[in-house]
């Protein structure tokens, strides 16, 4: 199968590309830079030059492929403590919706697979994403599933916090925030939970969905159903040797900035149905707390109060 992959040079996408190629698929990877293009060629992939704003490039690549895996998302606005970060998040979400719609147009009537990445927006796969003012404004899931009646085998890959020792999803920005403020914080009692999965467990699931997934399905790439916010904050505190503190709800906005929307959210999720339907099993990779404990961010000399 010839697969078009967006975000092909990113943290998750590059691993997806490797897995697809090793499984015998051909990959056409999206790249906006010469360096990214060279990386893709070295992996054995073809290159489609462009980015998420180049809708014509997305359409042409999707039309020329047997399936599409959409991993890209613009995270450039993620600056810890920035007051306008959430507005930037909304802008990126809107751009993501336009990109999905453009690729969907090219796939309409073909019944070709189109896997769109989203967050874990509900506890189980059969539950739709929560709606209303207290949900993240990502439109990826609803935009993708609206393509199913148009003859696209659209599916949603809901990702939790994807981690290794370099990156940890939203926890990456909590680490940066703790470094900047010299304190690691959680909200209230810190009992709210975030699901997690190791990076190496994610790529095979995208491939299984591509090969076996059904139109309209939602899949959960979840290995750990819920790691508590307090455990995460304490791991960051250990890494930097800084205090770990609880923040009252009225303090959350001032401390977390754009992350306030997520800091106290309980996002626990199960992958039981995904494992049953696709035969996916997360292997015995390090858990999120172990990867945070060994994070490269803590190896820099002269950080935190433990310098």
Reading the chain (307 residues) residue by residue, the pLDDT tens digits are 999 999 999 999 999 999 999 999 999 999 999 999 999 999 999 999 999 999 999 999 999 999 999 999 987 755 444 445 567 778 888 999 999 999 999 999 999 999 999 999 899 999 998 765 555 657 899 999 999 999 999 999 999 999 999 999 999 999 999 999 999 999 999 999 999 999 999 999 999 999 999 999 999 999 999 999 999 999 999 999 999 999 999 999 999 988 888 899 999 999 999 999 999 999 867 999 999 999 999 986 454 444 4
pTM: 0.92
Contact status, residue 18 vs residue 10, Cβ threshold 8 Å: no
Cβ-based neighbour number of residue 274 at 10 Å:
26
Contact status, residue 205 vs residue 274, Cβ threshold 8 Å: yes
What does the pLDDT read at residue 190? 97
Contact status, residue 47 vs residue 40, Cβ threshold 8 Å: yes
Return the domain boundaries, the chain: 2-162+197-223
Contact status, residue 141 vs residue 129, Cβ threshold 8 Å: yes
Name the residue with tokens 């489609």.
48
Residue 154 Cα distances to 23, 158, 226, angstroms: 21, 13, 27
Task: Choose which CATH entry (3.40.50.300, 3.10.150.10, 3.40.50.720, 3.10.620.30) describes domain 2-162+197-223.
Answer: 3.40.50.720
Angle at 280 between CA 278 and CA 282, to 5 degrees: 160
């Amino acid at each position: 199968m010839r697969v078009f992959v967006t975000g092909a040079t990113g943290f998750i996408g590059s691993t997806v590309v490797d897995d697809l190629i090793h499984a015998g698929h051909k990959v056409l990877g999206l790249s906006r830079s010469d360096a990214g293009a060279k990386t893709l060629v070295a992996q054995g992939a073809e290159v489609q030059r462009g980015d998420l704003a180049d809708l014509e490039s997305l359409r042409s690549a999707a039309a020329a492929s047997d399936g599409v895996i959409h991993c890209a998302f613009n995270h450039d606005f993620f600056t810890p403590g920035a007051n306008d970060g959430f507005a930037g998040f909304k802008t990126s979400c809107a751009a993501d919706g336009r990109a999905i719609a453009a690729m969907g147009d090219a796939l309409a009537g073909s019944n070709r697979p189109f896997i769109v990445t989203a967050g874990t927006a509900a506890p189980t796969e059969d539950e739709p994403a929560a709606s209303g003012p207290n949900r993240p404004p990502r439109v990826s899931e609803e935009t993708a599933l609206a393509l199913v009646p148009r003859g696209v085998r659209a599916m949603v890959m809901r990702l939790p916090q994807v981690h290794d020792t370099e990156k940890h999803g939203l926890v990456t920005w909590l680490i940066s925030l703790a470094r900047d403020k010299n304190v690691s914080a959680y909200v209230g009692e810190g009992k709210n939970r975030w699901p997690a999965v190791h990076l190496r467990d994610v790529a095979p699931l995208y491939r299984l969905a591509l090969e076996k997934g059904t139109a309209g399905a939602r899949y959960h790439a979840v290995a750990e159903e819920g790691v508590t916010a307090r455990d995460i904050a304490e791991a960051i505190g250990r890494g930097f040797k800084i205090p770990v503190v609880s923040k009252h709800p009225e303090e959350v906005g001032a401390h977390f900035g754009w992350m306030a929307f997520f800091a106290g959210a309980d996002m626990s999720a199960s992958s039981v149905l995904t494992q049953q339907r696709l035969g996916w099993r997360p292997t015995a990779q390090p858990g999120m707390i172990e990867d945070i404990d060994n994070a490269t961010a803590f190896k820099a000399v002269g950080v935190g109060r433990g310098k």
